Amino acid sequence: MPRILLINPNSSAATTAMMVSIAAACCDGRAEVVGATATRAPAMIVDPASLTASAAEVVEIGRAQVEACDGIIVAAFGDPGADELRRLCARPVIGIGEASMQAAGQGGRRFGVATVTPALVASIADLAEGLKLSAQFTGTRLTPGDPAALAADPARLAAALADATRACISDGAEAVIIGGGPLAEAADRLQPQFAVPIVKPIAAAVTQLLQRLAT
């Protein structure tokens, strides 16, 4: 059975365990998922400086464990270190940000991002541009308040993300990405509230990686 290494670029072991559980459920027995947690990063990446700084440790973790896995998922929405890992490793490397945007933009579909981190709005737009998806990207809509405090209150987080999702739809989005690995549980709860697809980055990355491993 293939083994997937899920690297959490932030330092929250609880977030790693949650994302590994979601990824394993998405695999549905087709692959084993193991997690690795950064130690030098903050518990939640909320600004460009911490996103950039986390890349080096992601690369270190990936290089140290690459021989024990068949593919790697970088599980932060800005995909820190993913490009460098691809250059250095002979295994497929998938970032949850790129995977979710590619899934959301399939068939020319317009898409938006609902998330909690205002300081990363420019980084999200840059990711869409790098993937040549800017023309389909309707923009990022944000939840109010402190991201870490919101993430610590699941009910409030889900409600705030639902409001941000509605704002994306009002912008013309035909699919909405819930932008962030730590938001994965909230993303799972949102789809029943909406007619448009709610794209879940962890699931999108697993789907893409399993497709790569099958070829």
- Band of residue 173 on the pLDDT scale cut at 50, 70, 90: very high
Which whole-number Å values give the CA distances from 191 to 17, 87, 117, 206, in the listed order? 22, 36, 21, 18
Domains with residue ranges and CATH for the chain: 3-95+203-214 (3.40.50.1860), 98-201 (3.40.50.12500)
**CB hemisphere CA count around 7 (13 angstroms):** 31
Give me the pLDDT at residue 207, please: 98
Give me the pLDDT at residue 12, please: 95
Q: How far apart are CA 91 and CA 139, in angstroms?
A: 32
pTM (2 d.p.): 0.96
Q: What is the pLDDT of residues 96-155, one digit of tens each?
A: 999 999 999 999 999 999 999 999 999 999 999 999 999 999 999 999 999 989 988 999
